[in-house]
Amino acid sequence: MDDLDRLLNDVNECLQEIGILENEPVRWKEVRCVEASVFRSPDGESAYSAVIAYASPSCERLPVEVSELLRRRGWGYVSVRTEW
């Protein structure tokens, strides 16, 4: 399994671990990571991003909590965004 597949799986595990967050506009039965990517930061370092579907772009807590759980799993900083 390559890093991007592992990141996608880890994001989905984090979503299960977090459970339902009150007042977050999310379709909780459908929410999942649909994209993981790697990019080069301006200083040449590798960085990762993940896209979570079935969650409003206005979600505030969900991306922060997922990013924090990923950091605890050893990913460092991962940019997490949500989309319907």
Nearest to 34 by CA among 54, 62, 18: 54
- Tens of pLDDT, residue by residue over 17-58, are 999 999 999 999 999 999 999 988 788 888 899 999 999 999
Looking at the structure of the chain, the number of domains it has is: 1
Burial of 43 (C-beta count, 10 Å sphere; 0-12/13-18/19+): exposed
* pTM score of the predicted model: 0.92
Determine the structural domain holding residue 58 and report its residue range.
3-83
Q: What is the CATH number of the domain that holds 26?
A: 3.30.300.30
